């Protein structure tokens, strides 16, 4: 696999075409305002990382992008097509362009790992057993899971479940993949392999990626741009370097893991790595 | 007074909202075979799971209900010297009321709870969201196969329950209370016709619809993790059972208009 060194990547978003455009997105759950006018544009082929403290609405934003939640106000366009207010059945065509890695994998617990990964292919009309087997085996071997194909999700570890879910998300080669906390709860080695896979998907297939994470090391590895979500709005939007060099105290507090009362406790940075520059991994 | 009005209003609002959600699910379910994808293998699996899997429960319920109803009827009818009419009473009661209602209650406990728990667990673990992002409508994939499976199986389960109820009653009367078999059979045949059995099966079909709607709705709206799934499952059984009993009353009145009991 390639090094996660960003300098080796060849972004395919040079034309700056917007694939996802979010305007004035507002969402209230109960009495709590979760999103309070989010504006965000994501270019084709770029990797946008969304960071923010727990409970700031990152996953809610992600779910809006794929139509799993309906906003109170605002607009979301995917490939220029408005998805807010589109009936569930008409969303199917739009969703087929998108793969989602859920926070806990969301594997179907009544199916084996291989059946889970084969499911999107079967639903897209592929019935040939040999083709299914080849593609599933390839996807699972990318994740190092070929030996666990016949196991039920309950019988594999959390990290394996997440990798199996990632295999399921990428098997139809979607144009855009949304990752909800792809490295949370994983050991550093597996986290690194997932970061590399995100980069590989972008480099080889020009996949647009939106990654919600707390893992600042991942931010440095994979992000083309970073959006910092705070109090329901995009507080900061820029490159990882701009984020690192930001003089804004709130941003610095977040990336250094300093709480707002300044006692140094966790403010949402789960691994406590902060923004220590990460040297490229050897091949 | 104001508080009473407020509480009444809130309760009515919650009730109407719930009925609206059920109506919406029913609309999606009815439209599903025409605009969605029908997965025959899932329907087959549900028929096996619901129909074949409920055999024991239904047979035991039907048989023991028939037997005990025959015994209680015999004890009283014996005082009046009309013990030979036990067969007629049991068969009519089993066909029109006990068979469909008790089968529906047992199935709502066994199958309804399982539907609510399975779908609810899928909901709280984001498996339903995963289906949706893969372009699979949850009603097509989860509700339609269960609905077809139960709508197909339930009338047959009701018929089976009725059959075993009458059989157990016959064994009880003929071998337990020494009622002549010819008398017993004559009264059963004279007072029970195909329409009585049809009423039971029609009721079974309607109850199947109620159980599927209520249970799947509880599953699809589950939240708050394991506690939410537990509450949803309990609610599914309670609401489905109450709905069965209430609908049974109105259905009985309606169907009795079409074929009045005692007319023939």
Nearest CA in chain A to B124: A106
Residues B29, B138 contacting (CB under 8 angstroms): no
The separation between CA A220 and the C-alpha centre of its own chain, rounded to angstroms, equals: 14
Pinpoint the alpha helices (H) of B172-193.
181-191
Query: β-strands A233-238, A225-230: how paired?
Result: antiparallel
Task: Name the residue facing B129 among A102, A107, A123 (closest C-beta).
Answer: A102
pLDDT given at position B47:
95
Q: Which of A5-9, A72-76, A233-237, B152-156 has the lowest mean pLDDT?
A: A5-9
Look at the block and give the residue holding tokens 């013990």: B83
Residue A5 has pLDDT above 60, yes or no: no
Domains of chain A, earliest start first: 1-97+174-278 (3.40.50.300), 110-173 (no CATH)
In 3D, which of A50, A45, A43 has the Cα closest to residue A64?
Answer: A50
Distance from CA of A43 to the nearest CA of B (A): 21
3-state DSSP call for residue A42?
A: strand
Please give the Cα distance from A138 to B125 (Å, whole number): 27
pLDDT given at position A201:
80
A189-209, pLDDT tens digit by residue?
A: 888 888 888 888 888 778 899
Task: Name the residue facing A104 among B121, B122, B126 (closest C-beta).
Answer: B126
> Could you give the count of Cα atoms lying within 13 Å of A279 in the half-sphere of its Cβ?
2
Taking an 8 Å Cβ-Cβ cutoff, which residues of chain A contact chain B? 63, 66-68, 88-89, 91-93, 95-96, 98-100, 102-104, 106-109, 119-120, 123
Please give the Cα distance from B181 to B198 (Å, whole number): 25
Residues B128, B142 contacting (CB under 8 angstroms): yes
∠ Cα A64 A65 A67 (to 5°): 60
A31-68, pLDDT tens digit by residue?
A: 899 999 999 999 988 999 999 988 888 999 999 999 99
DSSP secondary structure letters along A234-280:
EEEEE-HHHHHH---HHHHHHHHT--TTSS---SS-TT--TT---PP
DSSP secondary structure letters along A138-207:
HHHHHTT-GGGTTS-GGGS-HHHHHHHHHHHHHTT--SEEEEESTTTT--HHHHHHHHHHHHHHHHHH--
Q: Where are the domains of chain B?
A: 26-258
pLDDT given at position B171:
94
Tell me whether residues B132 and A98 touch, CB distance under 8 A: no
Distance from CA of B37 to the nearest CA of A (A): 10
B40-76, pLDDT tens digit by residue?
A: 999 999 999 999 999 999 999 999 999 999 999 999 8
pLDDT given at position B101:
96
How many CB pairs lie under 8 A apart between chains A and B? 52
Task: Name the residue facing B127 among A63, A96, A108 (closest C-beta).
Answer: A108
Question: Which residues lie closer than 8 Å to B225 by C-beta, 6 or more apart?
Answer: B124
Q: Across the 264 residues of chain B, what is the mean pLDDT of every consecutive 10-residue run? A: 88 93 95 92 94 93 95 90 87 93 95 96 94 93 96 95 94 91 88 89 95 96 92 96 96 85 56
∠ Cα A13 A18 A24 (to 5°): 140
């Amino acid at each position: 696999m390639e090094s996660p060194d960003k300098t080796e990547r060849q972004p395919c978003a040079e034309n700056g075409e917007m694939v996802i455009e979010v305007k004035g997105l507002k969402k209230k759950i109960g009495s709590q305002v979760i999103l309070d006018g989010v504006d965000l544009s994501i270019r084709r082929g770029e990797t946008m990382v969304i960071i923010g403290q727990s409970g700031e609405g990152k996953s809610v934003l992600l779910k809006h992008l794929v139509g799993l939640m309906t906003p109170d106000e605002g607009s979301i366009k995917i490939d220029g097509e408005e998805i807010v207010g589109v009936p569930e059945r008409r969303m199917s065509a739009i969703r087929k362009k998108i793969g989602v890695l859920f926070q806990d994998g969301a594997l179907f617990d009544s199916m084996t790992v291989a059946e889970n990964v084969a499911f999107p292919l079967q639903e897209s009309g592929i019935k040939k057993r040999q083709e299914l087997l080849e593609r599933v085996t390839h996807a699972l071997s990318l994740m190092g899971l070929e030996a666990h194909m016949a196991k039920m999700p309950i019988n594999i570890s959390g990290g394996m479940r997440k990798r199996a879910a990632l295999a399921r998300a990428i098997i139809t080669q979607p144009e855009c993949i949304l990752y909800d906390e792809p490295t949370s709860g994983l050991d550093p080695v597996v986290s690194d392999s997932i970061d590399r896979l995100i980069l590989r998907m972008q480099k080889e297939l020009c996949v647009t990626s939106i990654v919600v994470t707390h893992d600042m090391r991942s931010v440095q590895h994979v992000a083309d741009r970073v959006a910092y979500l705070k109090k329901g709005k995009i507080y900061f939007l820029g490159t990882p370097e701009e984020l690192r060099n930001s003089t804004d105290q709130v941003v610095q507090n977040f990336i250094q893991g300093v709480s707002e009362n300044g006692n140094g406790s966790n403010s949402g940075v789960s691994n406590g790595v902060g923004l220590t520059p990460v040297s490229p991994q050897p091949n | 007074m104001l508080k009473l009005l407020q509480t009444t209003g809130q309760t009515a609002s919650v009730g109407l909202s719930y009925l609206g959600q059920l109506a919406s699910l029913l609309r999606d379910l009815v439209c599903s075979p025409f605009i969605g994808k029908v997965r025959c293998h899932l329907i087959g699996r549900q028929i096996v799971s619901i129909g074949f899997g409920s055999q024991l429960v239904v047979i035991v319920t039907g048989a023991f209900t028939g037997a005990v109803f025959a015994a209680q009827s015999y004890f009283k009818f014996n005082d009046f010297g009309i013990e030979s009419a036990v067969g007629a009473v049991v068969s009519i009661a089993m066909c029109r009321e006990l068979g469909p209602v008790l089968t529906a209650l047992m199935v709502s406990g066994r199958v309804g709870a399982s539907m609510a728990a399975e779908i609810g667990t899928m909901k709280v673990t984001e498996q339903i969201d995963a289906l949706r992002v893969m372009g699979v409508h949850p009603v097509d994939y989860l509700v339609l196969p269960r609905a077809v499976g139960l709508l197909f199986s339930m009338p047959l389960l009701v018929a089976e329950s009725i059959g075993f109820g009458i059989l157990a009653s016959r064994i009880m009367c003929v071998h337990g209370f020494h009622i002549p078999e010819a008398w017993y059979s004559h009264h059963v045949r004279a007072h029970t016709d195909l329409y009585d059995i049809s009423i039971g099966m029609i009721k079974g079909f309607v109850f199947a619809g109620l159980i599927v709607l209520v249970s799947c709705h509880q599953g699809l709206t589950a939240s708050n993790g394991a506690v939410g799934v537990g509450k949803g499952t309990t609610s599914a059984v309670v609401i489905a059972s109450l709905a069965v009993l209430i609908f049974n009353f109105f259905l009985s009145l309606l169907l009795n208009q079409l074929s009045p009991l005692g007319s023939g």
